[in-house]
Chain A
Amino acid sequence: MASRPFHRWRFPFIAASALIGPIALAADAPAHTAADTLWVAISAALVFFMQAGFALLEGGMARSKNAVNVLMKNYMDACVGGLIFWLVGFGLMFGHNVTGWFGASHFAPNSATPWDWTFLFFQMMFAATSTTIASGAMAERIHFRAYLIGACVISGLIYPVFGSWAWGSHGGGDGWLKALGFIDFAGSTVVHSIGGWCALAGIIVLGPRLGRFGPRGESRPMPGHNLSLVALGGFILWFSWFGFNGGSTLTADGDIGKILVNTHLGACAGAVGAALFSTALGQRVLLTATVNASIGGLVAITAGCATMEPGYAILTGLVAGVIATLGPALLAKMRWDDVVDAVSVHAFCGVWGTLAAGLFYNGDLFNPNRIVVQAVGVLAAFVWGLGAAWLTYVLIARTIGIRSTTLHEQRGLDFTEHAEIGYPEFQHMQTFNPDSLHR
């Protein structure tokens, strides 16, 4: 979205006096057609559906005793994230950006033009996506309330502030990265890398699950409880991505077709790249790795899907598949326990996709200036995303506590955080006292 300067004239400068509080948004903005509104509204609904995809994917990758907790985190971060983004996030991200570092108007909007509501709705779904990325990585050992507080900070501060740098601003002014010419069409960095770096900060502060790494540092496999959910979640995410990337045109125009083709090719190539790479290494091709690799391909193609040719989209996806395969091993080496490999898929593949958008820019391939700008954006996201999230989680840990007790890990967070279990009729392996349920 940030790379489309033609949008700037559509959303003219909002009066500097309207800094805080409910105000009318861009009242004199040019009219969008009904088709634009319809397309963006449908796309926003598709992006919302990604929450279901994440819930299934992450829920399936967790052990059955933590399934409800994972689903609840996905459900509730969409809810609190939506409220917080309306309250402060949208203003920080798209409000009048005088300094280039954050927006300072359009907080808690209560009156706006029809198009502004459509835009706000679409952006709200993006914020929810970025926020929910961290949930799977930190699964099975984080307190529910601590997670939700972290989700509020991501939705209300970390994501929108970086978004204002790269995509600001709807309400006037420019983000500093956008002014440099940073390209991130639908958010490889803005949405996915930021979410991924927040996830990395979270897992560093939390530490690994009990026994995830052996005494000599060896990584122990902890398989999820339902791979059918993982596959279904992968398909839903893929489907929803057509709204994520396609809707980022913000207009129902002829560009959509190529964007969708590139999106699909990126995902296909991600999965194929991972399968080929695993085969070349003499390893089995795992379902979880394949699903993650296709999502890695989607993450990577998100930045450049509007500005590269399909051949380069395939190359971007192939490399992302390899990155999604190698990333988890790197994290394991560092003893960082990422339950769903969110850091590899969203942060690492997001970095690659953002660089690829600069490398393979249509009509201006391998322009070093563009690549440097892309690298600056990637680095800024790393420093801000990881730093701010790390500080947030450390503060949470030192105040209300973030890590579940070992007894809670034994019993499972479904029981200890929610007093209900995912499979009451089938969950025979109980490590808690079932007589205490629903008390």
Chain B
Amino acid sequence: MEFEQKKMAIEQGLTPFLSGEPLGYALRLWELKYAGDPIFALVRFVNELYESAGLTAPRTKVLQSLIRALNKLPDPLSKAHGQTVHPTIIEESHDDAIHVCFLLVDTLIHRLPHDEGAGVRRYLLDHLKQLKQPEPILNAIRAWLSQQQPIATPIPTTVLTRIVNLAYVALCEYEGPTKADRALHEAVLIVETATSGSKFPVRRLL
């Protein structure tokens, strides 16, 4: 996808919610920090807009609008390989599960105020042993949680479900169960929209 095309799509997606200087600021922010990131990173972009650009519309709507606009652009993968299913796509299905899982956890954490988000991250780090997984898997998750390093180690789906649950427990501890239920539900909607092209539905992690 060409940079200019993506920028136009971002502008188109944000137009219903921002105009004038705030819209210009949002585009500059996207160019500087998020233009090279995958579509999952839109969650962080939208979160940052809420903190700095005075967005008031529901996050889900903003995100949906952005993703809709981006999805209208031609898919470079299908352009390159036609309609055939390439082996790398099949291999990606497990990566998809990991991506979806960590996007969901990331979305849950980024919705919180900074201190509480850090608290949830700390809680996850402190309780990783509960997953009872081999050290390489725990180390990979630890590296992702503390330094946002991508995960290359295969992780079973059942373990991914337990990671999401651990994040939910942490949210209950920090925010209370009522807010945790709502946060998990809203985060699932956001991730569902952001990963609409993924082979792995986020609800399988619930």
| Chain A residues within 8 Å of B, Cβ to Cβ | 63, 65, 209-212, 214-215, 220-223, 406-407, 410-411, 428-435
Stretch in contact with the other chain, from B34-42, B148-156, B180-188: B180-188
Q: CB distance B177 to A210 under 8 Å?
A: yes
**Residue from the list A209, A215, A411, A434 in contact with B177, Cβ < 8 A:** A209
Q: CB distance B177 to A222 under 8 Å?
A: yes
Say yes or no for B47: interface residue by CB 8 A criterion. Answer: no
> Chain A residues near B206 (CB, 8 Å)?
410-411, 430-433
A429-B187 Cα distance, complex, nearest whole Å? 11
**Residue from the list A63, A211, A406, A429 in contact with B176, Cβ < 8 A:** A211
> Chain A residues near B177 (CB, 8 Å)?
63, 209-212, 220, 222
**Residue from the list B168, B176, B182 in contact with A410, Cβ < 8 A:** B168
A220-B171 Cα distance, complex, nearest whole Å? 13
> Chain B residues near A434 (CB, 8 Å)?
203
Please give me the residue from chain A that is nearest to B184 by CB atom. Answer: A431
Q: List 22 A-B contacts (CB under 8 A).
A: A63-B178, A209-B177, A210-B169, A210-B172, A210-B173, A210-B177, A210-B180, A211-B169, A211-B173, A211-B175, A214-B173, A215-B174, A220-B178, A406-B165, A410-B165, A410-B169, A429-B182, A429-B185, A430-B185, A431-B181, A433-B203, A434-B203
Q: Given A406-B169, A407-B162, do A429 and B203 touch, yes or no (CB 8 Å)?
A: no
Say yes or no for B161: interface residue by CB 8 A criterion. Answer: yes
Q: Given A410-B206, A431-B184, do A221 and B169 touch, yes or no (CB 8 Å)?
A: no
Interface centre among B161, B184, B203, B204 (most CB of A within 10 A): B203
Please give me the residue from chain A that is nearest to B178 by CB atom. Answer: A222
- B interface size (C-beta, 8 A): 24
Please give me the residue from chain A that is nearest to B119 by CB atom. Answer: A215
> Chain B residues near A222 (CB, 8 Å)?
176-178
Q: CB distance A211 to B172 under 8 Å?
A: yes
Q: Given A212-B177, A431-B168, do A410 and B184 touch, yes or no (CB 8 Å)?
A: yes
Tell me how far the C-beta of A435 lies from the nearest C-beta in chain B, rounded to whole angstroms: 7
A432-B188 Cα distance, complex, nearest whole Å? 10
A209-B184 Cα distance, complex, nearest whole Å? 17
> Chain B residues near A407 (CB, 8 Å)?
161-162, 165
A285-B162 Cα distance, complex, nearest whole Å? 41
> Chain B residues near A215 (CB, 8 Å)?
173-174
Q: A63-B177, A406-B166 given. 10 additional CB < 8 A pairs? A: A210-B172, A214-B176, A215-B174, A222-B176, A222-B178, A223-B178, A430-B203, A431-B181, A432-B206, A433-B206
Please give me the residue from chain B that is nearest to A209 by CB atom. Answer: B177
| Chain B residues within 8 Å of A, Cβ to Cβ | 161-162, 165-166, 168-169, 171-178, 180-182, 184-185, 188, 203-206
> Chain A residues near B182 (CB, 8 Å)?
429
A410-B173 Cα distance, complex, nearest whole Å? 13
A410-B180 Cα distance, complex, nearest whole Å? 9
Interface centre among A406, A428, A431, A434 (most CB of B within 10 A): A431
> Chain A residues near B165 (CB, 8 Å)?
406-407, 410
Q: CB distance B168 to A406 under 8 Å?
A: yes
> Chain A residues near B168 (CB, 8 Å)?
406, 410, 431
* Majority SS at the chain A contact face: loop
**Residue from the list B162, B176, B185, B204 in contact with A431, Cβ < 8 A:** B185
A410-B165 Cα distance, complex, nearest whole Å? 7
> Chain B residues near A433 (CB, 8 Å)?
203-206
A434-B16 Cα distance, complex, nearest whole Å? 32
A253-B162 Cα distance, complex, nearest whole Å? 63
A221-B173 Cα distance, complex, nearest whole Å? 13
> Chain A residues near B171 (CB, 8 Å)?
211
**Residue from the list A65, A211, A221, A435 in contact with B180, Cβ < 8 A:** A211
> Chain B residues near A435 (CB, 8 Å)?
203-204
A429-B186 Cα distance, complex, nearest whole Å? 8
A435-B171 Cα distance, complex, nearest whole Å? 25
> Chain A residues near B166 (CB, 8 Å)?
406
Tell me how far the C-beta of B68 lies from the nearest C-beta in chain A, rounded to whole angstroms: 21
Tell me how far the C-beta of A176 lies from the nearest C-beta in chain B, rounded to whole angstroms: 45
The 9 closest A-B pairs by CB, nearest first: A211-B172, A220-B176, A210-B172, A211-B177, A429-B185, A433-B203, A433-B206, A407-B165, A410-B168
A209-B173 Cα distance, complex, nearest whole Å? 10
> Chain B residues near A210 (CB, 8 Å)?
169, 172-173, 177, 180
A7-B204 Cα distance, complex, nearest whole Å? 63
**Residue from the list A220, A221, A406, A429 in contact with B181, Cβ < 8 A:** A429
**Residue from the list B162, B169, B174, B181 in contact with A63, Cβ < 8 A:** B181
Tell me how far the C-beta of B112 lies from the nearest C-beta in chain A, rounded to whole angstroms: 14
Tell me how far the C-beta of A139 lies from the nearest C-beta in chain B, rounded to whole angstroms: 13
> Chain A residues near B184 (CB, 8 Å)?
410, 431
A321-B177 Cα distance, complex, nearest whole Å? 29
Interface centre among A210, A430, A434 (most CB of B within 10 A): A210
A220-B169 Cα distance, complex, nearest whole Å? 15
Tell me how far the C-beta of A215 lies from the nearest C-beta in chain B, rounded to whole angstroms: 7
A420-B161 Cα distance, complex, nearest whole Å? 20
> Chain B residues near A428 (CB, 8 Å)?
185
A221-B176 Cα distance, complex, nearest whole Å? 8
A130-B204 Cα distance, complex, nearest whole Å? 41
Please give me the residue from chain B that is nearest to A434 by CB atom. Answer: B203
Tell me how far the C-beta of B71 lies from the nearest C-beta in chain A, rounded to whole angstroms: 24
> Chain B residues near A430 (CB, 8 Å)?
185, 188, 203, 206
Please give me the residue from chain A that is nearest to B167 by CB atom. Answer: A410
Tell me how far the C-beta of B160 lies from the nearest C-beta in chain A, rounded to whole angstroms: 12
Please give me the residue from chain B that is nearest to A412 by CB atom. Answer: B181
Please give me the residue from chain B that is nearest to A140 by CB atom. Answer: B177
Tell me how far the C-beta of B124 lies from the nearest C-beta in chain A, rounded to whole angstroms: 13
A222-B205 Cα distance, complex, nearest whole Å? 25
> Chain A residues near B178 (CB, 8 Å)?
63, 220-223
